[in-house]
């Protein structure tokens, strides 16, 4: 499925819509070039989920954790600067399986072998400075349910 947004407000609305469908245990992989809007979308998701703190790009820390509604937590990873996932993979595997965690991953290629098979992959393409095309791909029952409801 492809969703087109005409500006950042519509991107935020999409993030809000997506966030409402999340109940824990979901993994969302965000794909797209630098500046395509992965972190912007994550901010919108976090806001709707009730994160008290504004999402910041986790580039230097690799991950940031935000407590959100219903006793859940949002874990936001950005692997842009990670060159060897090595020992992180064990931790990642646990986070991905945790049913009280909603995980958002930017630049997930380096950990592609531990990304769960059932995940929602959103590929963001910028046709212009303010418009974005979001290619939504579901790869299992849980993510397919979200895609259908979007
Ligand atoms: N429709 C839109 N959706 C999302 N971002 C938009 C849109 N229009 C303009 N922008 C701008 O594009 C930029 C997106 O930056 P952002 O940090 O979200 O990208 P990113 O994909 O996370 O990049 P990186 O790979 O460096 O982490 C922001 O400056 C944002 O304001
Ligand atoms: Mg980013």
Give the mean pLDDT of 51-55: 93
Amino acid 59: pLDDT: 64
Residue located nearest, by CA, to atom 16 of ligand 1: 37
Distance CA 26, CA 10 (A): 23
Ordered domains of the chain (ranges, CATH): 2-149 (3.40.50.300)
Helix (H, G, I), strand (E, B), or coil: what is residue 126? coil
DSSP for residue 71: G
Closest residue by CA, ligand 1 atom 24: 34
| The pLDDT of residue 84 | 87
Measured CA to CA, the distance from residue 112 to residue 45 in angstroms comes to 22
User: Are residues 88 and 97 in contact, defined by beta-carbon separation less than 8 angstroms?
Assistant: no
CA 95–ligand 2 middle distance (angstroms): 20
Find out whether the beta carbon of 37 lies less than 6 Å from any atom of ligand 1.
Answer: yes
Taking Cα atoms as reference points, which of 29, 22, 76 lies closest to residue 54?
Answer: 76
* pLDDT, tens digit (0-9, with 9 covering 90-100), for 29-48: 999 999 999 999 999 999 99
For the CA of 131, the closest atom of ligand 1 is: 1
CA 123/CA 52 separation, integer angstroms:
27
Of 110, 130, 143, nearest in space to 37 by CA:
130
């Amino acid at each position: 499925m492809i969703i087109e947004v005409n500006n950042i407000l519509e991107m935020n609305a999409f993030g809000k819509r997506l966030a409402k469908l999340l109940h824990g245990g979901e993994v969302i992989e965000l794909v797209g070039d630098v500046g395509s809007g992965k972190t912007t979308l994550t901010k919108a998701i976090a806001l709707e989920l009730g994160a008290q703190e504004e999402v910041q790009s986790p580039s230097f820390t690799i991950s940031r954790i935000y407590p959100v509604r219903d006793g859940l937590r949002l874990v936001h990873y950005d692997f842009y600067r990670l060159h060897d996932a090595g020992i992180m993979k064990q931790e990642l595997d646990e986070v991905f399986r945790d049913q009280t965690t909603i995980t958002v991953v930017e630049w997930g290629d380096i950990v592609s072998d531990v990304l769960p098979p059932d995940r929602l992959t959103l590929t963001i393409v910028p046709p212009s400075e303010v418009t974005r095309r979001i290619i939504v791909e579901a790869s299992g029952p849980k993510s397919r349910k979200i895609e259908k409801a979007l």
